[in-house]
Structure 1
Amino acid sequence: MSIEINKPFGPSIAKITIPDEIISAMNKYVEEIVSDKKKSEDLDFGYNLAGNVQQEFRLDFEFMKKNNWAEFLGKSCQKWLSEGHNISIKKFEIISSWIVRQFKNEYNPIHYHGGHISGVGYLKVPMDMGSTVQKEKKVQHNGKLVLIDGSKKFLCNPTYVITPKVGDFYLFPSYMMHTVYPFSDTLEERRSVSFNAKIDDDSAKLR
């Protein structure tokens, strides 16, 4: 498992690749839920999340264990904290993990999560997420994730913009504000998977 650790501002952000077999199993699982109205209702998680999107549902823990998702999250977080911060965690507890199905004109407003660690990875990404209205003058942010820390300062940009790519997975502190912009000009789905987790209190202290 290789890891890339970036520190564009105060907290660090880790980037890891989701194994192909997990992506495949996750997408198959999503399609099964989508086609089953009762399962979709039973696992609905939208009431607990900030997104203005078509569908959000939680992953059940049996699925997360069976398809090694829980193991992947634990090892990824351990590697990030060990290599990036010299922290050896003694406990890793997944609070929840969920799927976000986002389509044209939908978005996720600025928000933060619970627990100590959060993350997001990509299972499906539209080929083209549209253009800006003022095409020659504006930076393209359609469908992108933006992590936010503090405010604009000299020599310090408060935002970190992520272009979604299938297989990319990002870890960040759960308190970090973030948002996802809407996109246009496509009927394709932007599908992501997120999680929140707690670690032991000693490891979570400021260092």
Structure 2
Amino acid sequence: MSNDYDLRIVAPFSPTIIKASLPPDLVERLNQRIDEIVVRKDEVAARDWSAHLAGAVSTELRFTDVIRETAQLTDFLYDVARTFTYRCENALMHYSDYERTEELEARKLRIEIKEGWINDMVAGDYNPAHFHQGCLYSSVGFLRVPPAYEEEFAADKARQNTAGCLQFIDSRSAVGVKNLFTVKPVVGDFYLWPSWMLHCVYPFRSPGVRRSMAVNLALA
């Protein structure tokens, strides 16, 4: 018979990532708007954001105006960022009080959208390890994957499947510490994290487009 030592993991210092699901109708609307943009060479040229970004990505388009004008999307971003902020704050302030760590305090918190852009990646594109400056939070929502991507991912013979994946990197490597977190792109999945966290995107081989929307946010 084992003894009851009231064992609990207390992790007040660990970086945290929040995951959410974009509404399917919003994913469809965003894809329709982006498809309208990418067929127009003049608009692609006007929105080109590649000079501001780290990756070797075929198409990187500034999308901040569309994000700010899409009420359903801004509401979603605000809700996710507020929840992340409150839960992180509560976990740090009350990490020994497990009844309070999920509380959302009834006070106003203003979220500011700094920049947003679209990454349309094709076979061979990648994003090296980097972090985002000039913001508090970074985020990504997956909008499209190549038709044969699932087959490619399943056949990946690497020790850890990484084809087309987003990977978060923490500098620490020790017992009890996980320093890599790999995210498979799934349409509708959305992640938000502290902007200082290193992350990268691995290349894939499948024909077609891997589409994601990145948004930087701050507290105003």
Contact 1:22/1:67 (CA < 8 Å) preserved in 2?
no
Residues matched between the structures, number? 191
1:159 and 2:194 equivalent?
Answer: no
Q: In structure 2, what residue type is equivalent to 1:120?
A: V
Aligned 1:1-207 pairs, distance under 5 A: 10-86=14-90, 90-114=109-133, 115-129=135-149, 130=152, 135=157, 138-184=159-205, 186-200=206-220
Secondary structure class of the residue paired with 1:68: helix
| Cα 1:89/1:194, change in 2 over 3 Å | farther
Q: In structure 1, what residue type is equivalent to 2:171?
A: G
Report the Cα offset of residue 188 of structure 1.
1.4
Q: Report the RMSD for the aligned CA atoms in angstroms.
A: 2.2
Deviations 1:12-50 (A, max 9, x none): 110000011211111011111101111111111111011
| Cα 1:27/1:134, change in 2 over 3 Å | closer
Gaps of 5+ in 2: 1-10, 91-104
Question: Which one is further off, 149-158 or 125-134?
Answer: 125-134
| Cα 1:128/1:78, change in 2 over 3 Å | same
Deviations 1:37-73 (A, max 9, x none): 1111111111101110110001142553235222211
Quote the Cα distance in structure 1 between the aligned partners of 2:67 and 2:53.
Answer: 21
Q: In structure 2, what residue type is equivalent to 1:66?
A: T
Shift >6 Å, 4+ stretches = 131-134
Q: In structure 1, what residue type is equivalent to 2:120?
A: R
Q: Matched residues, percent identical?
A: 31
Scaled by the length of structure 2, what TM-score is found?
Answer: 0.79
Contact 1:89/1:199 (CA < 8 Å) preserved in 2?
no
Deviations 1:156-178 (A, max 9, x none): 11111101100000010001000
Query: Which has the greater radius of gyration?
Result: 2
Quote the Cα distance in structure 1 between the aligned partners of 2:109 and 2:52.
Answer: 28
Report the Cα offset of residue 85 of structure 1.
3.0
Contact 2:148/2:207 (CA < 8 Å) preserved in 1?
no
Q: In structure 2, what residue type is equivalent to 1:116?
A: L
